[in-house]
Amino acid sequence: MENQGQGKNNDNKEEENFTNPYQLKSIMEWYQQYSPLAWSEMYNEYNKYTTSMNEIYKEYIKSSRQLTELYKELAANTERMTELYKESVKITERMTKYWSNKFGNLSSVKKTEERKR
């Protein structure tokens, strides 16, 4: 019998807890969070998010294509610069040979000067 009385007391405590304003507040918050209207709002926010991410990805793809074109252009310019450098080396070698032949071998002049000293 004592257990039965305690059971009734437990029921009363549960009822008291259920009518507690804080308990009702948390239930209302839970309902607002998980109600169909809240899910609809979350779904709308998700759609906005995916739409904006889609735009960001489109911009990323566009930028990546532009960057690829710039790298191709850079590679072509680098090849052209390499060709110009090689041409410059050839011209410099020809000029060096020309001036060496015109004024004689500079190294033999230096050796002669060192022998004189």
- The answer to whether residue 11 sits within a structural domain is no
pLDDT digit string, tens, across residues 23-67 = 667 777 777 777 777 788 888 999 999 999 999 999 999 999 999
Q: How far apart, in whole angstroms, are the C-alpha atoms of residue 70 and residue 64? A: 10
- The answer to whether residue 2 sits within a structural domain is no
pTM above 0.85, yes or no: no
- The answer to whether residue 24 sits within a structural domain is no
2's tokens:
């004592």
Residues 6+ apart with CB under 8 A from 54: none
- The answer to whether residue 62 sits within a structural domain is yes
Q: How far apart, in whole angstroms, are the C-alpha atoms of residue 13 and residue 90? A: 101
Q: Name the domain count of the chain.
A: 1
- The answer to whether residue 70 sits within a structural domain is yes
103: confidence class by pLDDT, cuts 50, 70, 90: confident
Q: Are 45 and 37 in contact (CB under 8 A)?
A: no
- The answer to whether residue 32 sits within a structural domain is no
